[in-house]
Amino acid sequence: MEDKLHQFFSENDFDFQEPNLKHEKRFEQKLNKTKTRQRKDSWKLLSVAASILLIFGFYLGKNSQNQQLDLADVSPKMEEVQNYFVTAISQEIKSLETNRSLDTETVIEEALHQIEELEDNYRLFVLELNNTGSKTKIINSMIKNYQQRLEILENVLEQIEQIKNPNLLNNEIYI
């Protein structure tokens, strides 16, 4: 057995010396090239998976939106009513935010909390609108809900004016 190994090494010319410096640099370059390829491949896979999830999410979102009716879906007049209230409420909230200060913070936060409660009630009305047949009562309740939100915001703006100008009320009384 030992003779066969000795014969094998003597017949084949093996280089037992250390490789030159260029060999090490080439080897490192090859290692770095394979790492970048693996990273590129993983990013491609992740981007494909993200695209599929995004498309699936849009599909689910579209199907869930198509199933729920809102006040605007009842009739064109109800759409106008809803648009009016939504724009009026958003304008009032913007003016609340511009008047926010340390003095008015608690009043504004209380009002926004009441608005959130009314929005939760509105969501319940939307669910009822989709599930029940008597739409007139629900539509009236939805409109009253919008009116209550607008009244709360208007009252808070009046309170803010009184907080900012306490003499305003006194001047109105004496005039």
Per-residue pLDDT of the chain (175 residues), as tens digits, is 677 877 877 777 666 667 676 777 887 887 777 655 555 566 666 666 776 777 777 777 665 554 566 777 777 888 888 889 889 988 888 888 888 888 888 888 898 889 899 999 988 888 888 887 668 888 888 899 999 999 998 999 898 888 888 776 555 554 4
Domain limits for position 61:
18-67
Q: Which residues of 97-106 are buried (b: 16+ CB within 10 A; e: fewer)?
A: eebeeeebee
Distance between CA 72 and CA 54 in Å, rounded? 28
The token pair at 25 is: 């640099």
32 and 115 fall within a common domain: no
What pLDDT does residue 77 have?
Answer: 86
60 and 135 fall within a common domain: no
63 and 73 fall within a common domain: no
The answer to whether residue 13 is domain-embedded is no
59 and 125 fall within a common domain: no
Distance between CA 168 and CA 159 in Å, rounded? 12
The model's pTM? 0.56
The answer to whether residue 11 is domain-embedded is no
Distance between CA 138 and CA 73 in Å, rounded? 13
107 and 170 fall within a common domain: yes
125 and 155 fall within a common domain: yes
What pLDDT does residue 175 have?
Answer: 47
Q: ∠ CA 81-110-112 to the nearest 5 degrees? A: 35
34 and 84 fall within a common domain: no
Please report, as a single letter, which amino acid is at residue 16: F
